[in-house]
Structure 1
Amino acid sequence: MNAPVTLHAAATWTAPALVLRPWCADDVTALVEAYRDPGLRRWASPPVEGAEDGLRWVRDRERDWASGTRFGFAVLEETLGAPAVAGHVVLKGVGPGKPSAEVGYWTAARARGRGVAPRALDALGTWAFESFRADGLECLELLHQADNAASCRVAEKSGYAFGRILPSAPPSYPLDGHLHLRHADDARSALSASSASSALSGLRPIVQP
């Protein structure tokens, strides 16, 4: 599959709905701005220093789509004005006969605290299983460095259960990592289950990371 895809995630009580679509050249300015955040630069690679790097990054994502094995989405918040880039999610390593694939993400600093990552990952995971389970996809993996506590919380909220500790492998992976897993046989998305739980508990609002 390499045709463009658009995904959606519902609004919450405190945050707008999300649209997920392939990156394009019009996103370069927002991408460069997002990469100015030291917190993002710590975890994401390669660095994006300016417009030239940003356009190269976008063209790489377009080639990924053309390859049919890696699918990166710009995550946009549906605001009153033009939709604003709030983050990125990616499905990678998918292919015929492969039982597992990996997901990754980042959230722009200005959009943190509004549940962007869990909602975007939930939409991505649902699409991944609907699109590739017939080809053998049964499990999605989310990996992060062991000292990234925020990613642990996002994984749990997105339905990715902790699997095991991955030993360090310097120099590329200087610290241990965590492997989280989400299986195709999960009956409902983590966000749907959390919403149902809140309803049964007196409609208490869900606090997103």
Structure 2
Amino acid sequence: MAEVKISAEIRTEFGKGAARRTRRETKVPGVVYGHGGEPVHVALPGHDLMLALKTSNVLIGLDIEGRKELVIPKAVQRDPIKGFLKHVDLLVVKSGEKVVVEIPIHTEGELAPGGNLLEHVLNALPVEAEATHIPESVTISIEGLEAGASVLAQDITLPKGTTLAVEGDATVLQVLAAQAEEPTAEAEAGEEGAEGAEA
């Protein structure tokens, strides 16, 4: 995974008012922590951070006023309505270090005919990988799967150096049988009327 370089400023003001002022300056308040060091409160350029976070588990080369750190996003808060970034937690990592992250799940292929539904029991797959070699996603083939079929975590082929951070028998995807259509109220009324006429 390519490293994205971002510069950050140290924040000395805290609280909701200070966070709002930071966001008004098109910056995002955040905290950098890990490896036993004191958490560092920072302000990051909003546009650069937003672009970086389009990649899941992006590796960021952070320059905090001359201090260089490798970090990955651990918690991202967004405004539930407008979607802008409100706060980000960044975890310090070292090259070669293993970290536990969740990677997106993509599917390919078509289910067996019959109108069945695919349910994502897990929306992301917990894995352990080297901090500098985190897979961007995993792809699972659902080609020809029929109702009742499921895909377990242990069935998924992971990139070299990546291991599961969830039980192997955990269900990731399952195929649900198509629901029979409910009769409409009008159809039911028609049937009742016909029964009454026969009586």
TM-score class, shorter = under 0.3
Higher helix share: 1
Structure ranking higher in strand proportion: 2
Q: TM-score, normalised by structure 1?
A: 0.25
From the CA coordinates, give the structure whose radius of gyration is larger.
2
